[in-house]
Amino acid sequence: MYKLKVHKKGIIVIPKEIRHRLNIKEGDEVSVIVDDDGIYIFPNENIEKYFGSDKDAIEALKILEEERRKERENRT
């Protein structure tokens, strides 16, 4: 487990060890999925590894994340 500090504007730094292990380089994009249990960050090229290659399932996850984001905004 890693503890990361949140900087201004919500910026976090992914430790070098993790970036190296997952082959994340400067300029790469990552996918972020949020649910009631936490935040999950995946290298874009590997998201299918975690959720299967079913494009519909991945799209459903993106829609769910958007719906949850809107719910959070409405609570404030």
Give the per-residue pLDDT at 52: 60
Single pTM value for the model:
0.54
Name the residue ranges covered by the structural domains of the chain. 8-75
Fold of 8-75: Pemi-like Protein 1; Chain: D (2.10.260)
Question: What is the C-alpha to C-alpha distance for residues 30 and 27, in angstroms, rounded to an integer?
Answer: 10
The Cα diameter of the chain in Å comes to 38
**Residues recorded for the chain:** 76
pLDDT digits (tens, 9 = 90+) for 33-74: 888 888 888 887 655 565 665 667 777 777 777 777 787 788
3-7, 10-14, 26-30, 45-49: which has the minimum mean pLDDT? 45-49
CA distances from 60 to 4, 11, 28 (A): 29, 26, 23
Question: What is the C-alpha to C-alpha distance for residues 20 and 23, in angstroms, rounded to an integer?
Answer: 5
